[in-house]
A and B are shown apart, each in its own frame.
Chain A
Amino acid sequence: MTEHDALTPAILTTGLTKRYGSTLALSNLDLAVAPGEVYGYLGPNGAGKTTTIRLLLGLHRPTAGSAHLFGLDAWADPVTAHRRVAYVAGEPFLWPSLTAAETFEFLASVHGGADTAYRSELVDRFELDTSKKIRALSKGNRQKVQLVAALATRADLLLLDEPTAGLDPLMEMVFRECVQEAKRRGQTVFLSSHILSEVEALCDRVGILRQGCLVEEGTLTQLRHLSALTVEATFEGPAPALPDLPGVHAERIGANALRFEVHGPVRPLVNALAQYPIATLTSREPSLEEIFLHHYDGTNARHDSTNEHHRG
C-alpha cells in the first residue's frame, strides 16, 4: 500500500442519494471507510443497504451525490475501481449449469486472477464439493461458492451484502475467521448484516441505516455512550423513593429493587444511592441489539439521539 493509498478512503460517499420513481431509497448518505477498517452496515429490511452497495458498485446510478472507491468514481469508472473490489451478494446469483470449480475458474478470469492456493484452502475450510453444479447446491452452499470466490481474489475491499444468510453456525464461524484474517492482512471490509453478534465481533465501526438515512454511526464504544446505561440496585429493606435526577429514569422492579436508565453522567445517581443501604449494585452497557432496536423501532429515534448528543 502506498502512502497515497493510506490517505485515500476505501469508500467515500458524499450526499449519495437514490430515488426509484417516487420512492426515496437512500437519502444524502455521507460515509467514509478508511483502508483496513471493518465497517458494519446495519438496518432493517428495505432500509437501503443493498441500494447503497449497488451504488458503490456502479450498478445503479446515483440520483444525486457521488460514491468513490479508493478515489475512483464508482459510476464513471467502475472497471478500474472493481479491480480492487470483491463482492458477495445477498442472494447467490450464479450460473446454474456451471460446477463450483468452473464458477471459480470463470470468476477468477473475469476478475483478472485469484490466489488459487488460498482458494483451495477456503474450499476445504468451507467444506465445499466443487464438482457439484450450482443448480444442485442449496442456498447456503451457493453462498459459500460466492464467498470463496470473493475471498480468493484477496481484493483490497470486500463488499459483503448479508454474506452469511443461509450459512450454518459452524460455517458462520469460518466466515468470521476469514474476515479477521482479511483485516489482519489490511483488507477493508464493508459488511452489511442483520446478525448483530457478527457485527459486534468483527466491526471497528458501525453505521445504522433507517428508511434510507444514516441515523447513527460510530465505534461500538461511542454508540454505547450515546445510549442509556442500565443500573440496578437492591436494598437491605424497602427501596427508597429517590429525588428526581436529571437524565435518570427510575423504575421499581421489586419490593426492594430499582432499575435506572441513565442518560449522561452517572455520578449524581451514585452520589444519591450512597445514602441508602445497598445490598447489590449492577450496571451494564446496552448491547448492540438494544441500540439497534432503539433505532429501528423508535419512531422518535432522531429526536432521542438529538437529546443524547447534548451530554457531550
Chain B
Amino acid sequence: MANTATALRAPTVAPIRPASARTALVKRTFRDARVRTIAFAYVFAIYSWLQPAGYRKTYPTLADRIAFAHSFAGNDAIRLFYGYPYDVMTVGGYAAWRVGGTLALAAAIFGVLAAVRALRAEEEAGRTELVLAGAVSRRTAFRSAMAAIGTGTALLWLAAFLGFVVGRLPVAGSAYLALAIVAVIPPFVGIGAVMCQLAPTRRGALALSIGAVMVFWLLRVVADTWGSGAWLRWATPLGWAEELGPFTGTHAVPLLLFVAATVPLLWAAERIGATRDVGAGIFAEHDTAPPRLGLLGSPSAQALRTERGTLASWLLGVSVFAAIFGMIATSISAAGISENLQKQVAKLGTGSIFTPIGYLSFVFIVFILAVCLFVCGQVAAARTAESDQQLETLLAHPVSRTRWLAGRYVIALLGAAVLSLLAGLLTWAGAASQGVHISLPRMLEAGANCLPVAILFLGIAGLAYAVVPRASAAISYVLVTASFLWYIVGALLGLPRWLVDATPFVHVGLVPVQAFRTTDAIVMAAAGLVAAGASLAVFRRRDLLGS
C-alpha cells in the first residue's frame, strides 16, 4: 500500500518562486555591469575626496576665497564646465560646485549606459528571449534590471559620500551632496530605457541616449552662462541637481522633480516593452537594402564603414562645443583678480586664463581629453570585432593580423587628427564671430597639439588590448580619466613635482598661450608609437579571444 502511494505521488519538482527568479535576474544584471560600476565608483570617490582637499590647500584664507569667488568662479566660461557657483567661499560650497557639476554629467552618462546595457544589449544578444522563455514576465525582467541599476546607483552614492567624508566635509552635507549627484541617474536611466524601446539596436539606443545627455547638458550650460536663460535650469535634470543647493541652502523640492521625471519615463518604457515584439523596436529597421559597395575593398575600409556613425557623432559633438567655447571666450576678463589667485591658477600651467586667448588655451584641455577618449573608443571597437568573433571570420582569409590592427590604429589616428583640427578651426570661428582677434594658424596648432598625447594613449590602449583583451577598454578609459583628473587636481594639492608630472597631460603645452612643447610632444608620440608597435607584436602571437 505504502509503495503504491509513493509511486502515485507526483514527482517532486521544486516550486518556482517568482522571488528567486527576480533575485537571480537582479544578480545577473548587476554582475554584467560590475566593471563599469566599479570604475565609476572609483572615479566618484577619488574626485569627491580630491576637490575639498585641494581647495583647502589652495585657498587657505577667507581672503583667497573671496578673491576666487569674485573672479575665477564668476566667469561664464568656467561655469560652463562646473555649473553655477552658489557659494565658493566654503569648502562644502566649493566641492558642491566643482564636484557636483562634473559628476552630475558623469552620473547622467552612467544612467544611460546602464539602461542600454541592461535592456537593449541583452535583447540584441538574444538573452532576453531566453529569460522570457522561462517563467518570467516582461515586467519582472524589466523591474529586475531597474533594481540592479538601483543597486549600482546606491554604490555610487556611497563612493561619493565616502570621498567627501574623507575630504573632511560634514557628514550630513556630504550625504546630501552625494544624493544631489546620483539623483541625476534615475531620470537618465528612464531616458535610456525609453530609447531602448524606440531603437532596435544597442548602437541606436546608445546614440539616441548620449544625444539626449548632450542636449540636457547644453541646456545647463546655457542656463549657467547666459543671464536671462537661468530659468532653463529647470528644464534639465542636470540643472535640478544644482537647484538642490547642497551646502548652499538646501532646497529639497527639486528631488520631487527627479521622481516626477523618472516614474513616467520608466512607466512608458515598461508599457512599450510589454506590447512590442521582443527584439524589435518602435523605429522599424530596414531589413533589406540595395547593395552599397563603397568601403568594402579591405578590412580597414570596412572598419571605417562600420565606424562612420560613431565618427559623425564625435565630429558633431566636438564642432558644437568648439563653436560654443569660441563664442563664449569674449566674456573673460582679468579685472579684479588678485595676484595670489592668478599664481594659484597658474599652477595648472595655464598662464593667464583671464584673456580670451588664455581661456581658449585652457578649454582646449577638454578637447585633448576628448580626442584621447576617442582613440580609446576606436581600440575598444577593434576589441568588439574580436569578441563578436567577426575577426575570426576575417582572419580566416588572407588578412594579416598586424595589418588589420595597424589599420585600426590608422583610422583612430586619422579620426583624432580630423577632430583636433576641427576643434581648432571652430573655436577660432566662434571667437572670430564675436570679434575676438586670434590667429587661425595658432588655433590650428592648438588643435594639432592634441595629437602627441592622443598617440601616447593610443599606444597604451593598444598594448592593453593586445595583452589583456577582455579588460582593455576599462583599463584605457580609466587611465585617461584618472590622468586627466590627476592633472586638474594634482597641481592644486601641492604634491611633489615628480608626482604631478606623472600624468601625461602636464606635458602638453597650452597652445596658443604657451609654446608648443616640442620635446615633450616627441617623447609622448614616440612612447605611443613604441607601445603601439609592441602591441602589434604581442597581438601577432596570442590566441584570438571571444567574449
Contacts and interface: CB of A to CB of B under 8 A. Distances in A.
B392 A93 contact: yes
Contacts of B543: 54, 59-61
Given A61-B542, A132-B288, A133-B289, A79 B400 contact: yes
Contact of A57 (B201, B288, B389, B395): B395
A129 B291 contact: no
Given A61-B541, A95-B306, A79 B399 contact: yes
A82 B306 contact: no
Most chain A CB within 10 A, of B298, B306, B398, B400, is at: B398
Interface stretch (A97-105, A181-189, A257-265, A297-305): A97-105
A89 B293 CA distance: 24
Given A61-B541, A105-B293, A132-B288, A97 B306 contact: yes
B422 to A, nearest CB: 26
Contacts of A58: 395
Contacts of B306: 95, 97
Interface in A42-93: 54, 57-61, 78-80, 82-83, 85-87, 89, 91, 93
A77 to B, nearest CB: 10
Contacts of A130: 291
Contact of A129 (B288, B290, B292, B296): B288
Interface stretch (A107-115, A116-124, A166-174): A107-115
A60 B302 contact: no
A80 B398 CA distance: 6
Contacts of A60: 543-544
B396 A106 contact: no
A219 to B, nearest CB: 29
Contacts of B400: 78-79
A82 B306 CA distance: 24
B52 to A, nearest CB: 46
B388 interface: yes
A94 interface: yes
B434 interface: no
A10 B292 CA distance: 37
Given A57-B395, A110-B298, A132 B287 contact: yes
Given A57-B396, A89-B392, A106 B296 contact: yes
Interface in B299-319: 299, 302, 306
Given A99-B288, A109-B297, A87 B396 contact: yes
A78 B395 contact: yes
Interface string B258-301: 00000000000000000000000000011111111100111100
Nearest to B403: A79
A131 interface: yes
B61 interface: no
Interface in A12-55: 54
Contact of A133 (B288, B296, B299, B397): B288
Contacts of B467: none
B6 interface: no
Contact of A89 (B290, B388, B393): B393
B23 interface: no
B489 interface: no
Nearest to B402: A79
Contact of A93 (B285, B302, B389): B389
A111 B543 CA distance: 22
Most chain B CB within 10 A, of A78, A85, A89, A132, is at: A78
A105 B301 CA distance: 13
B390 interface: yes
A293 interface: no
Nearest to B287: A136
Nearest to A109: B297
B288 A95 contact: no
B389 A91 contact: yes
Given A59-B544, A61-B543, A136-B288, A95 B398 contact: no
Nearest to B389: A93
A111 B398 contact: yes
B493 interface: no
A212 to B, nearest CB: 16
Interface string B396-414: 1111110000000000000
A80 B390 CA distance: 20
B232 interface: no
B393 A82 contact: no
Most chain B CB within 10 A, of A61, A80, A129, is at: A61
B394 interface: yes
Most chain B CB within 10 A, of A54, A91, A110, is at: A110
B279 to A, nearest CB: 10
Contacts of B297: 109
A82 B302 contact: no
A306 B320 CA distance: 76
Contact of B399 (A82, A91, A136): A82
Contacts of B397: 82, 87, 107, 110-111
Nearest to A80: B398
Nearest to B288: A131
Ranked nearest first, the 9 interchain pairs of A and B with the lowest CB-CB distance are A136-B287, A87-B396, A93-B389, A101-B291, A60-B543, A82-B398, A106-B296, A131-B288, A110-B397
Given A60-B544, A110-B394, 7 more contacts: A59-B395, A85-B396, A99-B289, A110-B397, A112-B398, A133-B287, A136-B288
22 contacts: A54-B392, A54-B544, A59-B395, A59-B544, A61-B543, A79-B399, A86-B396, A89-B392, A95-B306, A97-B306, A99-B288, A99-B291, A102-B293, A106-B296, A107-B397, A109-B296, A110-B397, A131-B290, A133-B288, A133-B289, A136-B285, A136-B287
Interface of A: 54, 57-61, 78-80, 82-83, 85-87, 89, 91, 93-97, 99, 101-102, 105-107, 109-112, 129-133, 135-136, 146, 159
